[in-house]
Structure 1
Amino acid sequence: MNFDLPQILPLLIIALTVITSIKGFSDIAFFDRYKFNVGAILGKSKQWDRLVTSATLHGDTMHLLFNMLTLYFFSDIIIYTLGIWQYLAIYFLAIIGGGLLSLWIHRKEYYYSAIGASGGVVGILFAAIAIYPSMSLYMFFIPIPIPGWIFGIAYLGFSIYGMLKNVGNIGHDAHMGGAVAGLIMAVAFAPELFFKNLIYIGLITIPLIVMVYLIWKKK
């Protein structure tokens, strides 16, 4: 039997995430040990593995389903354009990047916890947008397709607003960190994208520049 690794790998990541998330739904000790928690990471135990393991846990079935469906639909774009190892690098570095930004923002809040693969998923999504900025995407529940670069700007703008106003039980900072990692890694792996889609990528980075300014000002 021949296995097509580019097709199977995203399914393996999804399967692992689904299995660990389901276990976390009913196993409180397991959930508490592997979730993102500032105190556990920066405290005496130094459990840095939580930056990655927290991405395999989700709060509920809808949270898990939304993340895994998004990952599944955009994985092929990255794998068949950049390569399978590049795909893995983007996914896991976006998870870590999102976790590190969240850790820095909440570094004084030792009680702060978070879970979900959103950082990695958003990284894959924004890498796909960097590759095909004019792709049609749907935003939230609006039934009208919009270009990917406009979606990216709107998404980042909402994430910044969410960070500042603490909107919902959502890790907006992890989303931002994942988006930054996804964009940077896509351009790093395919520098021609930067010149080909310079205007679109430049417009998408405007909210990121605003975010950096606001974080620096708040500090």
Structure 2
Amino acid sequence: MSTTLIVIILANVLISYKGFNDMFFFRKYDFHIGSIRAGEQVRMFSSAFLHADMSHLFFNMLTLFFFAPIVVGYLGEVSFVLIYFSSLIFGNLLTLSLHKNDLSYRAIGASGAVTGIVYSAILLEPTMTINFFIPGYLFGILYLLYSIYGMRAKNDNIGHTAHFGGAIGGYVFTIIKQPEMLTDNLFTVVVLAIPIVVLFVMAKMGKL
């Protein structure tokens, strides 16, 4: 297993565990629009290492555990790290953009970074299947459609908006690294772009 992957998972586990048991720590480093706009930019990064509960942490880390080795195998450790952290930042920048006027908005989770890795892995290995029968590209679409539901429902503090920014980060960086997929794998490239386009159409229409 990749050493970098182990370090990232351990960081998520340890920081999340600290947040589970220390609400002051949790509130100091979560993604909070009002605090970020007041100058606490560290929250743009630190919030991605906090999780709502054990199930939220487990799901994100399990997803990362399964998809990260594909990215490392195709692109190497350095590109994996770049995709992970660029997706993290893209996710939080999109969240900040869409919720900039809601000063009370809060969110946490590695979902943006993990979604970027998921999208990258599916682009790199389009014939992959999830749970032995779900095509990888279909999983990617369903994952983001669920995120749209979460964004509209607003019934938790999980960073659903960050999923899209993360997907964009993973999508764009992977195509830059492997531009030949625009001809060799055009179907997957186009299909994975659909939920991203849907998001921006909905945002433009004020449906989020």
TM-score by length of 1: 0.88
Which residue is 1:9 aligned to? 4
Which digits, 9 at most, give the CA deviation of each residue in 1:133-166, with x for residues without a partner?
A: 221014xxxxx72111122222222322332343
Kindly provide the amino acid, as one letter, of the partner of residue 93 in structure 2.
L
Which residue is 2:27 aligned to? 32
Partner SS state of residue 205, structure 2 = helix
Say whether the 8 Å CA contact 2:108–2:157 is kept in structure 1: no
Which digits, 9 at most, give the CA deviation of each residue in 1:63-102, with x for residues without a partner?
A: 1111111111111111110111110110011111111111
Which residue is 1:97 aligned to? 90
Q: CA deviation at 1:215?
A: 1.3
Which residue is 1:70 aligned to? 63
Which digits, 9 at most, give the CA deviation of each residue in 1:31-60, with x for residues without a partner?
A: 1111111001112xx111211111111111
State how many pairs are aligned. Answer: 207
Say whether the 8 Å CA contact 2:108–2:158 is kept in structure 1: no
Which residue is 2:164 aligned to? 176
Closer, same or farther in 2 for the Cα pair 1:92/1:218, shift >3 Å?
same
The one of 54, 58, 79 equivalent to 2:47 is: 54
Q: Structure 2: how far apart are the matches of 1:26 and 1:8?
A: 27
TM-score by length of 2: 0.92
Say whether the 8 Å CA contact 1:149–1:201 is kept in structure 2: no
Q: Structure 2: how far apart are the matches of 1:37 and 1:49?
A: 11
Kindly provide the amino acid, as one letter, of the partner of residue 114 in structure 2.
V
Identity rate, percent: 42
Return 5+ residue gaps in structure 2 as ranges.
Answer: none
- Shift >4 Å, 4+ stretches: none
Deviates more, 1:128-137 or 1:167-176: 167-176
The CA RMSD measured in Å over matched residues stands at 1.7
Q: Structure 1: how far apart are the matches of 2:203 and 2:151?
A: 10
Q: CA deviation at 1:169?
A: 4.6
Q: CA deviation at 1:167?
A: 5.6
Q: CA deviation at 1:61?
A: 1.2
Rg larger for: 1
Q: Structure 2: how far apart are the matches of 1:192 and 1:160?
A: 30
Which residue is 1:145 aligned to? 133
Kindly provide the amino acid, as one letter, of the partner of residue 135 in structure 1.
M
Partner SS state of residue 111, structure 1 = coil
Say whether 1:186 aligns with 2:179: no
Q: Structure 2: how far apart are the matches of 1:123 and 1:102?
A: 15
Kindly provide the amino acid, as one letter, of the partner of residue 9 in structure 1.
T
Partner SS state of residue 218, structure 1 = coil
Alignment of 1:96-135 (within 5 A): 96-135=89-128
Return 5+ residue gaps in structure 1 as ranges.
Answer: 1-5, 139-143
Q: Structure 2: how far apart are the matches of 1:63 and 1:162?
A: 14
Kindly provide the amino acid, as one letter, of the partner of residue 187 in structure 2.
I
